[in-house]
Amino acid sequence: MSDDLNWLSAREMVRRFAKGDVSPVDVLEAVLARLHAVNPLLNAICLLDEAQGRNLAAASAERWRRGRPIGPLDGVPIAIKDTGHVAGWPTRIGSHATATSPSAEDTPGVARLREAGAVLFCKTTTPEFGWKGITHGPLTGITRNPWDISRTPGGSSGGSAALVAAGVVPLATGGDGGGSIRIPAAFSGVFGLKPSYGVVPNLLGLLGPLAVYGGLSRDVADSALMLNVLTRPDARDSFAIPDRGIDYLDGLDGGVAGMKIAWSPDLGFPLADPAVIAGMQPAIDALAKAGADVKRADLDLSAAQPALEVIWGTSHAALVRDFDGAQLAALDPGLLRLVIAAQDISASELHAAYADMRALSQQMHAFHRDCDLLLTPTVPITAFAAGIDTPDATRFPQWFDWTPLTWPFNLTRQPAASVPCGFVEGLPIGLQIVGPMFGEAKILRASRCVERACATGARPNFVDRSAPA
């Protein structure tokens, strides 16, 4: 019974709460039991508040008993990435330099989840200040992938992805400034959506216009449900677009017939593992069979990397500009190297990088006039060893060198998702689906089509492929 509850979707949980045959208290106890069983292998959480979780679950159970749920996620346990504030919990962002005192208020996304009745009980691991596409650092150690615990789950939302993949929670929050939702979604075999900039109110502020708030789930419909909640307005974010009242579940199964879809295996970065490229084919074929016009695109975005490097470096340098010597010495060594290198970047260079960012956005806006969606591999390689920043320092000196297909769409501010589409030697791979600005509904429809064609129902078995046979 307990294991069955762990693998329910958020939507099925709510249906069963309404019928009265399962209680939010039952679900949370199953969640906690699963968490205690798998987290020693994964190291995916940095804070656990069982007392709060039980109080929220009990309150939800009473509301369901009275037939008065307060929202579409009432009673659903959700893990929160530790880049977002949760009132009463500290926000460490993976760093020894951050305060241990509790936050006074919720981040907008957390506030919307709380209003919808979600059960908040833990925070998930992230690298220091979310600076890289994997999840390990001085404060929380190494987070591991449930498909192979010798490998990374990706990052920076790696703890969230690992818990979703491992059957602990159906939903977890994430933030994405360069691929931090999509990379762990691909490496961990779950679904992750980065919304368009401004669609989800957000106060993260770590990476300026690059970062957005979103989430991860085991299926596309759960992410659509979560997006319905996260997009509700919050007056604290003056850059958020007006609420459009969209129900992302509406039309989710509408299919892709008539859509024009482009496919690029590399976006001009010829780095992909041929096995990963081959693994995309069943998903591409499924979209074509469903009536989409899928064609190869000659699209080269590689010239955008210098702009990303300047904006990424200066953004993180700004975060630590007031740190003293002891605080700097305690930083993740890779982050320290990044911010030291960024000290010599001039204001004119930063201005030029933002100009290049706007030009790239205009290029992609023009591209989507004739193309509904763009497909790429999410990451051109499979998950590599946990605890290292790059699988090959010669070939990939920085994290953005081994994941060059995600960050361009942070520069353009477009929505993009990673949907599981298969395995390469037992490790998950993901298809990235990119849409025009505010094209989340199209992405979700195409993702649903891929999910139906490629989902296997496989569950991770926590093997360690680094161990001798």
Q: What is the mean pLDDT of residues 216-220?
A: 98
Residue-wise pLDDT tens digits, 362-376: 999 999 999 999 999
The pLDDT value given to residue 469:
61
Per-chain mean pLDDT for the chain: 96
pLDDT at 1 over 50: no
Query: CB-based contacts of 446: which residues, under 8 Å, 6+ apart?
Result: 256, 259, 261, 287, 292, 373, 433
Reply yes or no on whether the pLDDT at 307 is more than 50. Answer: yes
For domain 2-454, the CATH class is alpha beta
Q: What is the pTM of this model?
A: 0.98
The set of catalytic residues is 81, 156, 180
pLDDT category of residue 397 using cuts at 50, 70 and 90: very high
pLDDT of residue 205: 66
- Hey, where are the domains in the chain? 2-454
- Strand, coil or helix: what is 103? strand
Q: Is the pLDDT of residue 3 over 80?
A: no
3-state helix, strand, coil in the chain (%, to 5): 40, 15, 45
Q: What pLDDT sits at residue 2?
A: 56
Residue 145 neighbours by CB under 8 Å, 6+ apart: 151, 152, 153, 154, 162, 165, 187, 188, 383, 386, 460
From CA 195, how far away is CA 201, in angstroms rounded?
11
